[in-house]
Amino acid sequence: MGKPLRIGMIGYGFMGKAHSNAWRKVAHFFPELAHRPVLQVLCARDAVKARAFAEVWGYPEVETDWRRLVTREDVDAVDICVPNHLHKEIALAAAAAGKMILCEKPLALDVAEGEAMVAAAERAGVPTMVWYNYRRVPAVTLARQLIDEGRIGRPFHYRAQFLQDWTMAEDVPQGGAALWRLDVKSAGSGVTGDLLAHCIDSAMWLNGPITRVCADTETFITQRLHQETGRVEPVGIDDACIFMCRFANGSMGTFESTRYARGHKALKTLELNGSDGSLRFNLHEPEYLDFFEYKARETGQKTPSHTTGWRRIHVTNGEHPYMAHWWVPGLVIGYEHSFVHAVADFLKGLESGVPAQPDFKDALRTQKVCEAVLHSAQSGGWIETGLAGPA
C-alpha cells in the first residue's frame, strides 16, 4: 500500500473523467509505485452536478470555489481540468499554496500566461505536469525508443495531422459547457491550441525543437450563437490550421489540423522519415506502430530489396513500453490508458526526483510554437519560435 497522495480535482467534463479514471486505476496496474492517489475532493461551480460526479467517481467531498480547494490542508496535488482561460489563475494560487499541479493541455491561453505559470511553480518548487497524453500511447513511446536506438538515422521529414469534424454544423453554438473550445476567450485559439498542440508536443518529443514555422489558418463559420450571452457573436477561433516548419536537427515538418474533415473523428497521425528507416502511427489504430527498416541497426546491413517493406508492430508485448502492466500479448489497450501512464510517470518522477515530462517548462515550449504558428498565420511569413536546443 503506497503513501496516499490526495487529489483535488477542478472540473468534471470530459477531461475530469479521463483524469479521475487514471488516478483511480494507477495503483492497481502499477502497484510498485510509492504513492497511492486518493480522490479527495472535487470542485465545480454547480454544486448539484459536482456532487453527482463526485458520487460516481468516489470523491467524498465537494467544493464549489476552487480558491478553497487549492488551500485545503488535505489536498496534496491540484488537477486543473477547466477551460484554458482559468489555468493560469488556478495554477498560480495552487503554487502559492505549495501544491503539486497537474494541468490539462494546453498549458495556458498564451506564452505570457505560460511563463507566469512556469515562474510561479519554480518559485514554489512544486512538481508540475501537463497532460499531453499521446506521448504515452505505447506505440508512440515505442517510436521514441526506436529513434533513441538510432534506427531511423538522419531525420528528413516529419508530418502530422489531427483531423476532426464535430464543429461543421452552423448551428453548433460557441461558449459554455462542452463548447467553450469554440469560444476564443475561453480557449485562446481553435485547432492550434486544442489539437495541433498535441501534435507539436509529440513532434518535439520525438524529433526535437521546432525552430521556425510558416502557417495559414481559416475560420469557416464566422459567427455562432454564444451559449452564455444568448447572442450571435463573431467566431474568434481557427477552424483549420496548416503549417510548415523546420526542426533544430535540420529536418522539415508539415502539420495539418481541422475540425472540418468530414468523416474524421480523432485522426491524429504522425510520420517520421529518416535515412535508415521510417515510422508511422495513427490514433484510429493505436495499438500499431508501422516501421520501415532500410538498414538494420544490429548488423549495419541494408535490408535485401526483395524483403523490404513496412512492418506492422502490434504493440502489445510485455517488452513494449508500459505493456507489462496490462494484459497478455495480443490484448490491446486504448485511449484511457495513456492517462494512466501519465499518472504513473508523474508518480515515478516524484520518487526518483527526475520530474516526469512534459512539466510546465516543457509544455511552455509547445505553447511557444503554437503562438508562433498563430502569429505566422496573421503576418503571412516565417516566424522564429525562439526554441533552439533540448529543454
Q: C-alpha cell of 292?
A: 520501415
Which is closer to ligand SOE, CB of 61 or CB of 165? Answer: 165
Which is closer to ligand SOE, CB of 88 or CB of 268? Answer: 268
Q: Whole-number minimum distance, CB 189 to ligand SOE, in Å?
A: 12
Q: C-alpha cell of 119?
A: 515562474
**Ramachandran angles phi, psi of 71, nearest 5°:** -100, 0
Q: By three-state DSSP, how is residue 202 classified?
A: helix
Q: Binders of ligand SOE: how many residues, by CB under 6 A? A: 4
Q: Which residue in this structure is represented by grid cell 520518487?
A: 351
Q: Whole-number minimum distance, CB 44 to ligand SOE, in Å?
A: 18
Q: Whole-number minimum distance, CB 106 to ligand SOE, in Å?
A: 9
> Binding residue for ligand SOE (CB under 6 A) from 266, 296, 324, 391?
266
Residue 264 backbone zone (phi > 0: left; psi -120 to 50: alpha; other: beta): beta
**Cβ–Cβ under 8 Å, residues 374 and 238:** yes
**Cβ–Cβ under 8 Å, residues 189 and 180:** no
Q: Whole-number minimum distance, CB 374 to ligand SOE, in Å?
A: 17
Which is closer to ligand SOE, CB of 194 or CB of 345? Answer: 194
Which is closer to ligand SOE, CB of 255 or CB of 291? Answer: 255
Alpha helices in 97-137 (DSSP H): 111-124
Q: C-alpha cell of 233?
A: 457573436
Q: Whole-number minimum distance, CB 325 to ligand SOE, in Å?
A: 22
Question: What is the CB neighbour count within 10 angstroms for residue 145?
Answer: 14
Q: Is 194 among the residues that bind ligand SOE (CB under 6 A)?
A: yes
Residues from 267 through 286 that contact ligand SOE (CB under 6 A)? none
Residue 270 class from Cβ within 10 Å (0-12 exposed, 13-18 middle, 19+ buried)?
buried
Residues from 132 through 191 that contact ligand SOE (CB under 6 A)? 164
Which is closer to ligand SOE, CB of 34 or CB of 266? Answer: 266
Q: Whole-number minimum distance, CB 266 to ligand SOE, in Å?
A: 5
Contacts of 28 (CB under 8 A, 6+ apart): none
Q: Whole-number minimum distance, CB 217 to ligand SOE, in Å?
A: 17
Which is closer to ligand SOE, CB of 146 or CB of 197? Answer: 197
Which is closer to ligand SOE, CB of 265 or CB of 302? Answer: 265
In angstroms, the Cα distances linking 342 to 26, 37, 195, 239, 338 are: 9, 13, 18, 29, 6
- Tell me the residue nearest to ligand SOE as measured from the CB: 194
- Tell me which residues touch ligand SOE (CB under 6 A): 164, 194, 198, 266
